[in-house]
Structure formats: structure tokens, C-alpha cells
């Protein structure tokens, strides 16, 4: 017996009746029903995919190119005298520039604990996070006390005449 044609308008004998007439046992699930179930599931899944894919794509924000692609002048040595510090913007990233006994240093100003912006405390001469009182060594960026789990990432800095220039990595 030929299998029933999908979508045929001709009435097909019921599979069990057909099986009985040919002396065979009825199949557990008629192929047409299984195929239709697959078709419905496939249609539903592909429709959902068609709707969800653009929505997810839309929700993912486009990659923004950092505006700090070039070198940034953080100020002069007069702006940041010895044992002081200043937070400046390098593109969209805050950077703390400190003038220490070991020279002018710069670090990412984003605290490695929970993302607050650190500042320079002239009293204790530490880089301090105001949120949870994390202290960093201004000469190395290392954690001195408090909850920060890692040192502040260093930023390359150069002195050109009197100007303090921040050099982005790779720049």
C-alpha cells in the first residue's frame, strides 16, 4: 500500500483499517499526523525565531568606538603638584593621575571592587575609593586596605615638556 499523500483531498482509509485489510498491525502513530505535528512545531519555532532574533539583535547595544583613541593631555605639572592627584577623562574612561615621589603615575579610576570612581586623599596620600573605603598605593596601584580584590590597572603616562600626556594602550 502506498503511504497516504500529505494534503490529498481524497479520503484516505484509516491506518488501522488499512492495516487490518492488509493483515498487518496498525502503526503506533500515523505518519501524516506525525508529519503535521512536526510541521506545526517547526512553523511555531521558526515564527518565534523570526520575531525574537531581530529583537535580541536590537537590544544588544552597538559597539561604541572609544572617543579616547588618541593621546590625552591630562594637565601640567603645575596642575598636579607633588603628592596630589586628579581624575581626568580619557575618552569615556576616567583616569586618575597622581604625582608621587616615584614620579607621575596614572591608573584607571574605576575601583576594582564595585566600580566607584576613586580619588586622591591628600591627608593619607593614598588613592581612596569613597564607596567602601578601599585604599590603593599611589606609586603602584596596589591594594593597601579594604575590599578591592585587585590593583588599579595602570595607564601609560609620559611627560612632554611640562605636559602630562596619557597614552592609551596600543596608541
CB 47 within 8 A of CB 19: no
Residues 6 or more apart from 67 whose CB is under 8 A from it? 91, 92
Closest CB to other proteins among residues 51, 124: 51
Selected binder of other proteins within 11, 25, 58, 149 (CB under 8 A): 58
CB 119 within 8 A of CB 85: yes
Selected binder of other proteins within 11, 28, 62, 149 (CB under 8 A): 62
Least CB distance from residue 52 to other proteins, whole Å?
11
Least CB distance from residue 42 to other proteins, whole Å?
14
Selected binder of other proteins within 60, 78, 149, 170 (CB under 8 A): 60
Counting every residue, how long is the chain?
171
Q: What are the Cα distances from residue 154, in Å, to 95, 104, 109, 167?
A: 9, 12, 10, 11
**Scanning residues 35 to 54, which ones bind other proteins (CB under 8 A)?**
47, 50, 54
Closest CB to other proteins among residues 39, 82: 39
DSSP 8-state class, residue 75: E
Sites of contact with other proteins (CB under 8 A): 47, 50, 54-55, 57-62
Amino acid at each position: 500500500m502506498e503511504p497516504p499523500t500529505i494534503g490529498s483531498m481524497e479520503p484516505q482509509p484509516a491506518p488501522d483499517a488499512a492495516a487490518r485489510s492488509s493483515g498487518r498491525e496498525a502503526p503506533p502513530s500515523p505518519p501524516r499526523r506525525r508529519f503535521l505535528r512536526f510541521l506545526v512545531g517547526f512553523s511555531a519555532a521558526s515564527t518565534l525565531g523570526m520575531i525574537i532574533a531581530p529583537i535580541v539583535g536590537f537590544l544588544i547595544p552597538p559597539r561604541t568606538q572609544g572617543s579616547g583613541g588618541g593621546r590625552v593631555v591630562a594637565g601640567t605639572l603645575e596642575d598636579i603638584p607633588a603628592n596630589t592627584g586628579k581624575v581626568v577623562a580619557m575618552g569615556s574612561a576616567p583616569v586618575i593621575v597622581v604625582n608621587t615621589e616615584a614620579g607621575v603615575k596614572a591608573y584607571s579610576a574605576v575601583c576594582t571592587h564595585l566600580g566607584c570612581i576613586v580619588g586622591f586623599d591628600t591627608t593619607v596620600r593614598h588613592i581612596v575609593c569613597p564607596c567602601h573605603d578601599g585604599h590603593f598605593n599611589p606609586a603602584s596601584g596596589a591594594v593597601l586596605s579594604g575590599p578591592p580584590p585587585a590593583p588599579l590597572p595602570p595607564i601609560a603616562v609620559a611627560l612632554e615638556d611640562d605636559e602630562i600626556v596619557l597614552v592609551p594602550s596600543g596608541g
